Amino acid sequence: MTIDAAGHDLLFREARTHNKWHDTPVPDETLRELYDILKFGPTSANSSPARFVFIRTKEGKEKLAPALSAGNTEKTMAAPVTVIVAYDPKFFEKLPTLFPHNQDAINWFTSNDSLAATTAFRNGTLQGAYLMIAARSLGLDTGAMSGFDNAKVDAAFFAGNGWRSNFLVNIGHGDPAGVFNRSPRLPFEEACLLV
């Protein structure tokens, strides 16, 4: 099964990073649907280390604001939803449930801090990409950002659970007036090798 050209356009070719937002709210039911789609994206040993904080209230945005870079503040405060894409460094504690056919999998990580850290960050980042693709599939626009102070976000939102922030994604219905001209992409010959 494949998707058609319109599907490719929606997810990739015509999709853009948005910087301005309409004030149309994104219902909590849509955010639940979004997660219920993205959670099926593959991760190593089904580790699913990503954790998501959907900030959609004025109070939540005010809590986030001190961590934002100057260039990201206005668009983030205007976005209907800002997602903190985070990861749980102790993700492996869920492996007995998530990877039930190998109950020894938890031990791959409890004795190897470096492997656990790399696995959490890499696979949490993958899940953040799945979030953006799933959002686009639901007719939402996205704007991913890394211009913020991770330590401030972690202190404000994750002091009680030890999660760590990776990047932010604004979600909603974007205003095309805030979209930059499409930047070039590398051609196949510069970005790929066939071996």
**Which residue in 168, 189, 6 sits closest to 77, CA to CA?**
168
Could you report the per-residue pLDDT of 131-169, keeping only the tens digit for each?
999 999 999 999 999 999 999 999 999 999 999 999 999
According to DSSP, the residues that pair with 54 across neighbouring strands are: 83
From CA 186, how far away is CA 74, in angstroms rounded? 31
Q: Which tokens go with 80? A: 């209907």
Q: Quick one: CA dihedral 18, 136, 171, 44, positive or negative?
A: negative
Instruction: Kindly state the percentage of the chain with pLDDT values over 70.
Output: 100
DSSP three-state, residue 80: coil
Q: pLDDT tier at 173 (50, 70, 90 boundaries)?
A: very high
Could you report the per-residue pLDDT of 74-125, keeping only the tens digit for each?
999 999 999 999 999 999 999 999 999 999 999 999 999 999 999 999 999 9
Average pLDDT over residues 167-173: 98
Residue 188 has a pLDDT of: 98
CATH class held by domain 23-173: alpha beta
Residue 76 has a pLDDT of: 98
Residue 22 has a pLDDT of: 97
Q: Domain ranges for the chain, please list them.
A: 23-173
* CB-neighbour burial class of residue 33 (10 A; exposed 0-12, middle 13-18, buried 19+): middle
Could you report the per-residue pLDDT of 3-55, keeping only the tens digit for each?
999 999 999 999 999 999 999 999 999 999 999 999 999 999 999 999 999 99
Residue 115 has a pLDDT of: 97
Rounded to two decimals, what is the model's pTM?
Answer: 0.96
